[in-house]
Homo-oligomer: A and B are copies of this chain.
Amino acid sequence: MIIPKEILTEYKAHFFEIQKDEYVFLEDDPALFYYQVISGSVKMSSFSDDGQEFIQGIFRAGQSFGEPAILGDFPYPNNAIATEKTELARVPKAVFIEILNAHFEIHKKFTSSLANRLRYKAILLKEISSYCPDHIIITLLKYLRDNTEHKGKPNFCVPYTRQEIADMTGLRVETVIRTVKKLQQDGRLNIVQHKIFLR
């Protein structure tokens, strides 16, 4: 919970619910609100001219999204859409800034969170630009294993479909399917009933 619920309430956050596949905001919308996921999950992605989706991030309970646009003062760079029935809290931009100003430790949590997302993108950028699919996918999966609630737990069950992995890396589904299969044959990951496991 990046901003504690008491504080959200104290600053009169608006709590509301949206359905699966409902949009929270669209790419290029002016960034007017800070959003935090209470339950469910929200996907931020955009589409290229030929309709290919690129997933920039998926955010779950306790996480915030869209706040880089507020902090950096630019329009939302992607669409935000609920991937299931989802409960959200939101506060207007000015209130969000006010909260940061009043609570150093919250502000610090946000800079830390931004720094970590930056790291994720830096890793992915380097991978995508200089390695082959198996290296990209293994790096992505290991990053996910080591940077979720799972943290170091053994036998990490990858919570994404092959299509989602494709949409996070820019690879095609068929390539992901083939590569994941090859990685299994090489003993670098396990597949049990189509689910991908990484120790």
Contacts and interface: CB of A to CB of B under 8 A. Distances in A.
A2 interface: no
Nearest to A78: B122
Nearest to A57: B122
B170 A128 contact: yes
A74 interface: yes
Interface residues of A, number: 44
A48 interface: yes
A74 B119 contact: yes
Contacts of A67: 115
A94 interface: no
A191 interface: no
A124 interface: yes
Interface string A151-185: 00000000000000000011000000000000000
Contacts of A169: 129
Interface stretch (A4-12, A35-43, A101-109): A101-109
A119 B77 contact: yes
Contacts of A62: none
Nearest to A70: B115
Interface of A: 46, 48, 50, 52, 54, 56, 67-74, 77-78, 97, 100-101, 104, 107-108, 110-119, 121-126, 128-131, 169-170
Given A56-B125, A56-B126, 8 more contacts: A48-B126, A48-B131, A72-B115, A77-B123, A100-B108, A121-B122, A125-B125, A125-B128
12 contacts: A54-B125, A68-B114, A71-B115, A72-B114, A74-B119, A77-B122, A77-B123, A97-B108, A100-B104, A111-B111, A114-B114, A128-B128
